[in-house]
Amino acid sequence: MKLNDIVQNLGLEVKAGKDSLAMEVQGGYVSDLMSDVIAHGREGDLWVTLQTHQNTVAVASLKGLAGIVLVNSREPDADMLRKAKEENIAVLVSSLPAFELVGRLHDLGLSGKRT
Amino acid sequence: MKEIRADLHIHTCLSPCAEKEMTPAAVVREACRKGLHLIAICDHNSVENVAAVKCAAENAGVAVIGGIEINTREEVHVLGIFDDDSALGKVQEVVYRNLNGENDPGTFGEQLVMNERGEVVRHNDRLLIGATGLSLEEAVRTIHRLGGIAIASHIDRPSYSVISQLGFIPADLGLDGVEVCSEEVPDIPENLTVVRSSDAHRPEEIGSRYTRFLLEKPTVAEIGMALRRTQGRRVMAVMEEK
């Protein structure tokens, strides 16, 4: 599934990384701890989080994640957006709370299984 | 007793997110220019530039305290500051033993260990931005065991703060003080003393927030008394440069 399909399907707001929406999303991961995503995030994962600081982009870039979705209409920090534009990492915003958003992502066929 | 203007949270070029311009000499120069009497060097998970800044500050008219900003397992930032140089070595040992991963300079930034002349002695390869395996409680206990004082960093920020990560300040944590950034002080236990510090990552940020202490001399032991409000030592005011 392409990132753009998810954006369209769930009505996500694209805050940065418009050029990376053609990226293939392999799976998903939910966490608000950077160390946890460094340890368990996988290449191509879509990352659902409430953290809005610039280290999220560094972690997404390091792990080759497909993009970051902020929940609950959270506004990304200016630093986060600047870095996301530099690194061409998609920063998306959903109005849904994490539980609901992840349920919908799962319905679309994304899996978070670690094998 | 005298008034001491202190900025107790300053990064150097060793922190990956700080600017390369945060050399030992630049930090000292800017601290003097801002009229600070005392600064504490607190890089992420490392004390390795403290000695160079202390050396660069000799005869400069600003006292330098060695410290560290530990990133705990919960991703809470907590400052440990120490009078004793051997304690710095010991806290470093505990932190490195509990810190995994290698830095990616392209992603997180360079980590420069410098001498007092600003020459790069080496690049630190550890993932200094990362979380240690130490819980917040363990970090505070370690700081105390080594004779230091523990101040929770930027508790009113939405990330890496005790309140953002744990929801509130655990009553039995034993913090010596809390650092607040904004004008409004969040709801905290009455016995916790508030300080303001810049958390400077760029030279111009040094002293942008600071604390006016009433102390006998610029040491961690004296700051500890001020935070506990004993023996006449105290925080006179928390300041923000306008």
Where is pLDDT greater, at B182 or B200?
Answer: B200
This prediction's pTM = 0.91
User: Contact A52/B158, CB-based, under 8 Å?
Assistant: yes
pLDDT for res B185: 85
Q: Checking phi first, is residue B75 left (phi over 0); if not, alpha (psi -120 to 50) or beta?
A: left
| A19: confidence class by pLDDT, cuts 50, 70, 90 | very high
**Which pLDDT score is estimated for B11?**
98
pLDDT of residue B167: 87
Which residue among B108, B130, B159 sits closest to A35, beta carbon to beta carbon?
B130
Question: Domains (ranges, CATH) in chain B?
Answer: 2-240 (3.20.20.140)
**Across chain B, what does the average pLDDT equal?**
96
Q: Is position A114 within any domain?
A: no
A35 vs B: CB within 8 A: yes
Indicate whether B171 pLDDT > 90. no
At residue B187 the predicted structure's pLDDT band, cuts being 50, 70 and 90, is confident
Q: What is the CATH number of the domain that holds A79?
A: 3.40.1390.20
Q: Which residues of A touch B131 (CB under 8 A)?
A: 33-35
Average pLDDT estimate for B25-43: 98
pLDDT at B186: 86
C-alpha span between A11 and B137 (Å, rounded):
42
CA-based angle B94:B95:B98, to the nearest 5?
A: 90
Q: B186 CA to chain A: closest CA distance, Å?
A: 20
> In which band, very low, low, confident or very high, does the pLDDT at B240 lie, cut at 50, 70 and 90?
confident
Residue ranges making up the domain that contains A33: 3-107
| CB-CB neighbors (< 8 A) of A34 in chain B | 75, 130-131
In a domain, residue A60? The reply is yes
| Contact: A52, B104; criterion CB under 8 Å | no
Q: Does B212 touch chain A (CB under 8 A)?
A: no
Percent of chain B residues topping a pLDDT of 90: 90
Residues on chain A touching B104 (C-beta within 8 angstroms) = 62
Mean pLDDT, residues B3-32 taken together: 98
- Asked if B75's CB is within 8 angstroms of A62's CB, the reply is no
| pLDDT value at B78 more than 90 | yes
Q: Please give the angle made by the CA atoms of A80, A85 and A88, to the nearest 5 degrees.
A: 115
Handedness of CA B21, B25, B26, B31 (dihedral sign): positive
pLDDT for res B184: 85
* B125-149 mean pLDDT: 97
Predicted pLDDT of residue A114 = 76
* A109 CA: distance to closest CA in chain B (Å): 31
Chain A residues whose beta carbon lies within 8 Å of the beta carbon of residue B101? 38
Assign B98 a pLDDT band (cuts: 50, 70, 90).
Answer: very high
A33 part of contact set with chain B, CB < 8 Å:
yes
Q: Which residue has the tokens 């490392």?
A: B46
Residue B242 predicted with pLDDT over 70? no
Q: How far is B138 from chain A (nearest CA, A)?
A: 18
Handedness of CA A79, A84, A86, A87 (dihedral sign): positive
Which tens digits make up the pLDDT trace of A56-110?
Answer: 999 999 999 999 999 999 999 999 999 999 999 999 999 999 999 999 999 999 9
A28 inside domain: yes
Strand (E) or helix (H) holding B137:
helix B136-145
Number of domains forming the structure of chain A: 1
